[in-house]
């Protein structure tokens, strides 16, 4: 079934580090149904993947590019090293870097000739980041694209804060891991894809390392924030793929991560097709946007 009309669809792509690669099969499902969102909002990796989607890349192209740039630890390390240390002179002057530069990382992993500004995108995009100094959410929908994405993915401590548009930016997941608020008003039908995961894999564990504790604590925080966001801006479809078995930084497992949601992708496709058909036939009313404060 391919749809040529229907409601304005708003998609919120959540943050969750490597687990966010599971956004891609759901994008493929929408492609296969002939559906395009009217607006995309993304946090952290959701902003990065959302930017690719908004630029005109298909789900299949996003899959192929992700495997190309993340397929092995050697590929990832090579790209990171080439961006962090630009020549021996930089190494001697600055030493071995302890924090990643978000701008360099974005440059390393985006496709060549990628749009440089929001106005070049084919679908409206809203990128969510956090202003570290004011403790507030910052939403970018115009201006330069790459600094906004770099700020949105800047996990505290792992990345340097990104200075952009008068803000000191860190990861958007600190304040808004699933930005449903950014698609609510401009859509008839909203979808939220939450890739933080759940505690199922750790319920019987006692051997948590430092990275496990750090990411697990962040996940608890993001889970709580997401629950409040869903209560305030309930989506028409809420998707939460099972991603708990993948670590925060296991990007090299991209093929496994993508494969893990193939069954869920098919289920999502069936449910979404039915909901859109119901809307077109008048059996489903458009969602009423929540009032903004």
Active site residues per annotation: 44, 171
Q: Name the DSSP class of 238.
A: E
- Cα–Cα distance measured from residue 262 to residue 265, given in angstroms and rounded to the nearest whole number: 5
CA distances from 240 to 16, 72, 177, 204, 249 (A): 11, 26, 13, 22, 19
Cα 196 off chain centre by: 10
Torsion of CA 242, 227, 13, 277, to 10 degrees: 80
Q: Coil, helix or strand for 229?
A: helix
First to last CA, the chain: 39
CB 180 within 8 A of CB 192: yes
Cβ atoms of residues 51 and 124 within 8 Å: no
Query: Cβ-count burial of 205 within 10 angstroms (0-12 exposed, 13-18 middle, 19+ buried)?
Result: exposed
| Pick from 272, 278, 284, 194: nearest CA to 233 | 194
Decide: residue 136, CB within 10 A, 0-12 exposed, 13-18 middle, 19+ buried: exposed
DSSP helix/strand/coil, 16 = coil
| CA separation for the pair 234, 222 (Å, rounded) | 17
Q: Rounded CA gap, 53 and 36, in Å?
A: 10
- The whole-angstrom separation of Cα 248 and Cα 201 is 13
């Amino acid at each position: 079934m391919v749809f040529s009309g229907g409601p304005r669809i708003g998609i919120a792509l959540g943050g969750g580090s490597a687990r966010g690669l599971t956004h891609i099969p759901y994008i493929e499902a929408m492609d296969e149904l002939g559906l395009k969102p009217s607006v995309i909002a993304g946090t952290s990796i959701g902003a990065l993947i959302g930017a690719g989607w908004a630029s005109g890349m298909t789900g299949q192209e996003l899959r192929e590019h992700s495997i190309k740039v993340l397929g092995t630890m050697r590929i990832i390390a090579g790209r990171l090293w080439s961006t962090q240390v630009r020549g021996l002179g930089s190494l001697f002057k600055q030493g071995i870097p302890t924090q990643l530069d978000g701008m360099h990382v974005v440059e390393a992993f985006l496709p060549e000739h990628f749009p440089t500004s929001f106005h070049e995108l084919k679908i409206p995009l809203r990128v969510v980041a956090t202003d570290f100094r004011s403790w507030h959410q910052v939403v970018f929908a115009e201006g330069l694209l790459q600094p906004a994405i770099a700020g949105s993915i800047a996990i505290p401590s792992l990345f340097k804060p990104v200075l952009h548009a008068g803000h000191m930016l860190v990861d958007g997941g600190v304040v808004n891991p699933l930005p449903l608020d950014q698609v609510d008003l401009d859509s008839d039908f909203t979808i939220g894809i939450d890739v933080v995961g759940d505690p199922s894999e750790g319920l019987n564990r006692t051997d948590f390392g430092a990275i496990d504790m750090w990411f697990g604590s962040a996940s608890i925080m993001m889970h709580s924030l997401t629950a409040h966001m869903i209560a305030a801006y309930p989506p028409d479809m809420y998707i939460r793929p099972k991603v708990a078995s993948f670590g925060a930084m296991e990007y090299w497992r991209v093929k496994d991560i993508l494969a893990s949601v193939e069954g869920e992708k098919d289920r999502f496709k069936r449910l979404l097709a039915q909901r859109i058909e119901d809307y077109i036939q008048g059996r489903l009313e458009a969602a009423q946007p929540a009032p903004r404060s």
